[in-house]
Amino acid sequence: MNKSRLVHPGFWFGKTPLEEALKLAKRGVGGFCLYGGTKEEVAAFTAAARAASPLDYLLISADYEDGLGRWLPDAPLLPSNMALGAAQDEKLAFEKGLLTARQARSLGVDWVFAPVVDLASNPLNPIVNTRSFSANSADIIRLARAFMKGLRQGGALNSLKHFPGHGDTTTDSHLGLPVIRRSLAQLQQSDLIPFQALLPEADSVMIGHLSLPLIDEQKPASLSKEIIGSLLREKMHFKGCVVTDALLMKAIGDEKQAALDALAAGADILLVPQDPAGLIDFLEQTQLPQSYLNRSEQAQDALCSQVQQVIPPTLQDAFNPNDFTLRTAQKAIVQTGPDFALQPGETVYYLEVGNTTNISAKPFLDTLEKHAIKALPFQNQEGPVIVLCFRRYQAFEGSIGLQKEEMLLLKRVLKTSPRCACILFASPWALGKPSETHTTLFTFSPAPEFQQTAAEILLGLRKSQGKLPVSF
């Protein structure tokens, strides 16, 4: 096997030069992991990369955890895993997997790096949050299994992540190395439970950049023989493909040494290095045991063979309009505190907080307007106030709480406004413990359908049906 095939570079639309990517494809890289783009751009890139590759089949992957809309501006944003955890509905989880797979395959993307099966066990975790189904491992197993069945039926590969469990950390591994001080016995009673149950159905496992000093004092999980070789391969009997998390993340130090360590530990694919061409040059000049190459070739051949058994749908069929996200919203949203009971003709004031990614609140405000509610930006007026909190996980940001100034303003509003509703469109923990005297809605997703449904609940047009999948 050509050593280039060990490497799967990243491709960022609007940032990575196409010529560079096509040169890498010609050198025989095993695949690409895509970030961003429009539907048209993704389809064009996957076709061009495959045309340039000497391989029988080029694997193309993406982190489409919440459907393609998390990365593509012209694709629908699907409900988060935590919204599915609140809805407690395996049929919806299956449907999410099926829709994601069909849409991805229609654009030439074979491999969805999902589901996240980390436990939602730490409110301060800046990078897992609503990507997790629940704090409860049994719920994670049920919903993730249904999602994986959907992916498989739609013809896409899956990947369990982030082994051996990224839930109980407070460090973003894009910025530094999270440390988990748990023994193997403790992990077996918590984070490893979903992995152990789902491994038989996993096409691949992604290893997290996590330090577990009670298991391996020297190396992070993604580079550890103890964790990949001994724990995952031998003790847990996983025979499939093992992928590193992105090598460009700041958690692992020198990329070339990290690549050698990962291969020695039992990884098959070196994902998204900072300098893919430089890493390939280095690997070509390095004497690698033939067993590494054989293992990787076998793992990648098996994935290619599996993908090619399903003919992708057309783009039009895959993106046919559907009511999946609306049905999920109507089942997932959780309310605590009293009903808000907005009346037609009322004026309310809205305050946006935590909106670092500039999500539009238009679907929410339009629904209020449609029902004769006048909504104005809050500027210390007297009257009912609705707080719209959009704070969600964001890679490379390092924390998930509100800014100090926003928190102080929020406390003042909650204290002085006799009638107040808070809507958390993403992180359920962003505002702390929900108030008993104010209305709080948890939607776990800022998708337009969730905004519309949240407005309808405040208007008294429907009741919330979800159950909180996390604790405070």
Examine the residue annotation and report whether 174 is marked as an active-site residue of this protein. yes
Four-CA torsion 458, 461, 463, 464, nearest 10 degrees: -50
Determine how many CB atoms are found less than 10 A away from the CB of residue 99: 23
Q: If you search the block for the tokens 């996993």, which residue do you land on?
A: 202
Distances (CA, A) of 434 to 135, 195, 233, 416, 438: 18, 32, 43, 17, 8
DSSP letter string, 388-421: EE-----TT----SPPHHHHHHHHHHHHH-SSEE
Q: DSSP letter for 197, please.
A: H
Catalytic residue among 174, 191, 209, 268: 174
For residues 205-236, one letter each, b for 16 or more C-beta atoms within 10 angstroms of the residue's C-beta and e for the rest, the string is: bbbbbbbbeebbeebbbbbbbbbbbbbbbeeb
136 vs 11, 86, 464, CA distance in Å?
35, 11, 21
Q: What is the largest CA-CA distance in the chain?
A: 75
Edge-to-edge, what's the strand order for the sheet holding 241-244? 160-163, 204-207, 241-244
Nearest to 274, CA basis, from 9, 3, 2: 9
Query: Dihedral sign, CA of 236, 237, 239, 240?
Result: negative
3-state secondary structure (DSSP) of residue 71: coil
Using the structure block, give the residue that is written with the tokens 């058994």: 309
User: Which residue among 118, 245, 261, 268 is the active-site one?
Assistant: 245
**What's the Cα-to-Cα distance from 331 to each of 79, 161, 382, 435, 463, rounded to whole Å?**
11, 26, 33, 22, 9
d(CA 204, CA 242): 6
- Return the structure tokens found at 297: 């070739």
Query: Are 427 and 390 in contact, with CB atoms under 8 Å apart?
Result: no
Nearest by Cα to 296 from 363, 204, 234, 167: 204
Per the annotation, the verdict on 74 as an active-site residue is no
Residue 328's SS3 state is: helix
**CA distances, 123 to each of 276, 434, 444 (Å):** 35, 13, 14
Q: Which of 410, 402, 447, 444 is nearest to 427 (CA)?
A: 444
Q: Can you give the length of the chain in residues? A: 472
Enumerate the active-site residues: 174, 245
